[in-house]
Chains A and B, each alone.
Chain A
Amino acid sequence: MNSVTTAQEAARLRKRREQGNLMFLVSPAAFWLILFFLVPLSIVLVYSFLTRGTYGGVLPIATTQNYAKLLDRDYFIVFRRSFVLALITTLVCLAFSYPVAYFISRQRARWRGLLVMLVIVPFWTNFLVRTYAWAEILRDEGVLNNVLLGLHLIKDHLDLLYTPGAVVVGLIYGYLPFMVLPLYANLEKFDHALMEAAHDSGANNFWAFMRVMLPLTMPGIVAGSILVFIPSIGAFITSDILGGSKAMMIGNLIERQFKSARNWPFASTISITLMVLVSIAVTIYFRITTEADRA
């Protein structure tokens, strides 16, 4: 009897000590994330339903007007443009990355590491700097115009900078490795003997690819696409530097509403909407990647 209570007492003490440990480990970070992340986000959520004050600021009057305003033509266009540009970026990244990832996966082991590394190295440069490099290339007296003029391919400067095309190029440049890496991870595991089997069964190159390689590398395609799409649709720097006012995206709209127009409730509304869009994409991502892991 006595030994039983002692054992129970010991178990109770151990449990208590473990809980103490858990508190020590988890609570500092949890506290920080709640106070300095969840609370700020909640304020944005609340603000998105409030009214704008006359001189900026926020009035505590509830409204859904901000959300209705999203459908205004001017704002809707920005959302549509962001979506389209992010989608084009994703598709072009996919088209360019698949052959690259395939090529790397077919090399000898020691070359593969190096080739993957070479895809990542430009990534180590600050994002602003990488974006600025494209502004230098695309501007009126920039490198590309000079080369084209020098080769007499064009008669006058082309307007390349401050166009949606410039933004897409910047986004592709910014996020290409996000596509190459998951595709490569997938293709590296792919058993290329399967393609031979498909050929032996009479499939030509096209159908062997469509029926065998494409479905089997689909998790990599989805992963890469989401990883490129998410930062692209939330872009701020790229569209700010390469797009200007002619190719404004959601991120720039938020910044303008917040800083120039000082309409904090509406800036909050757009931020929340952007977050919801991204969360949907992430949920799809996790669904598909966990399914792929299970398979």
Chain B
Amino acid sequence: MTTLEQNQELAIPRSAGPKRQREAGGLPFGRWAIHAEVIFTYIFLYAPIIILIVFSFNDARSSATWQGFTLDWYKSLLQGGGVLGLGGVATEGQQFAAQGILFSFRNSVIVASISTMIATTLGTLIAIGMERFKFRLRGILDIVLYLPIIIPDITMGIAMAVFFNLGFKVLSVVFGINAVLGFPTIIISHVAFNISFVAVVVRARLAGMDPALEEAAADSGANEWQTFKRVVLPLIMPGILGGALLAFTLSLDDFVITFFTAGIGTSTLPLFVYGMIKFTVTPAINAISTLMVIASMVLVITSLVLQNKR
């Protein structure tokens, strides 16, 4: 959900509004009160993350007072789960995650890449279908397409868990196939919510497109496929890329739905971090968090630079 907001924000034009006149009384508070409140809010937004980063370099096991600079917590991450004290935390999906951050990070990237590819393809196709055609059931499909965005994660997580449980029973009784939770079940679930997010972003782009361009292409003798490939696709490409990026981020970030659909050995990074937060107290969590903050900043800034180039 977060990144949808980001994309919408990017779409807000930067053009100036009406020229600002002298500050007329707006809110029924003094100027200073408003300024103080604004500063407080920005501090509130940044302080926790900065504290987290600072204490990832703190040379103390559990104290939140500064004891000196160290890189030990970062080193411990690379040495695997043993150092992190994950030995006693052998709940279902976490046994393999104990092999370390790199293993769960690899899992996250596998899940996010595959589910992004599928969701971007399906989401783009349905976006075009919904924007360019009128058909029966379109209204219902519209609602179904929005549902995964608004439904609480926990409800969707339960639904997927129940579905796979029942599905596996059917598979085993009818076809004699024994299936278990793993990458396919996580990816299927991630695609299910990502299709909607991709479709929303691509539809917004399509809605802003001049239909005359397609007509012009058709008038110039282009067939449908040529029109699509040469005119529509290039024009909606930023939307497709934006949708793909959103899907990738949501998939990387997801905890709740993965929590209910992951199997042994397929813990993603958020599941690994959750295990650490819940069952251990070590500043290594600060270190891993700092790395995640940096990674997401790099990801988003790269995408902003790419989008601005267009």
Which residues of A pack against B, CB within 8 Å?
A: 17-18, 21-22, 24-26, 28-30, 32-34, 36-41, 43-44, 47, 96-100, 102-103, 105-106, 108-110, 112-113, 116-130, 132-137, 139, 141-143, 145-146, 173, 176-178, 181, 185, 188-189, 191-193, 195-196, 199, 205-206, 208-209, 213, 230-231, 233-234, 236-237, 240-241, 250-251, 254-255, 258, 264, 267-268, 271-272, 274-275, 278-279, 282
Contact = CB atoms under 8 A, between A and B. Distances in A.
Contacts of A37: 144, 147-148, 156, 159, 192-193
A108 B126 contact: no
Nearest to A209: B28
B173 interface: no
A206 B213 CA distance: 51
A33 B192 contact: yes
Contact of A36 (B9, B191, B289): B191
A30 B24 contact: no
B133 interface: yes
Contact of B20 (A106, A240, A282): A106
Given A100-B38, A230-B150, A128 B158 contact: no
A125 B133 contact: no
A28 B122 contact: yes
A136 B159 contact: no
Chain A interface main SS type:
helix
Contact of B296 (A96, A124, A251): A124
B52 A133 contact: yes
Given A124-B299, A193-B24, A234-B155, 8 more contacts: A34-B144, A102-B27, A109-B17, A123-B6, A134-B48, A136-B286, A192-B18, A205-B25
A234 B256 CA distance: 11
A29 B195 contact: yes
A99 B155 contact: no
Interface of B: 1-3, 5-6, 8-9, 12, 14-18, 20-21, 23-29, 34-35, 37-38, 41-42, 44-46, 48-49, 51-52, 55, 62-65, 121-123, 125-126, 128-130, 132-133, 135, 141, 144-145, 147-148, 150-156, 158-163, 166, 188-189, 191-193, 195-196, 199, 224, 252-253, 255-256, 260, 270, 273-274, 277-278, 285-286, 289, 292-293, 296-297, 299-300
A268 B260 CA distance: 14
B296 A236 contact: no
Contacts of B252: 126
Contacts of B35: 103
Nearest to A180: B41
A109 B15 CA distance: 7
Nearest to A22: B133
A99 B27 contact: yes
B153 A236 contact: yes
B126 A26 contact: yes
Given A143-B51, A267-B158, A188 B17 contact: yes
B contact face: mostly helix, strand, loop, or mixed: helix
Given A32-B191, A126-B270, A137 B51 contact: yes
24 contacts: A25-B125, A26-B135, A29-B145, A32-B122, A34-B144, A36-B191, A40-B162, A118-B45, A125-B289, A126-B289, A126-B296, A130-B48, A132-B52, A133-B52, A143-B51, A143-B55, A145-B64, A146-B64, A181-B8, A196-B24, A233-B152, A241-B278, A271-B159, A282-B150
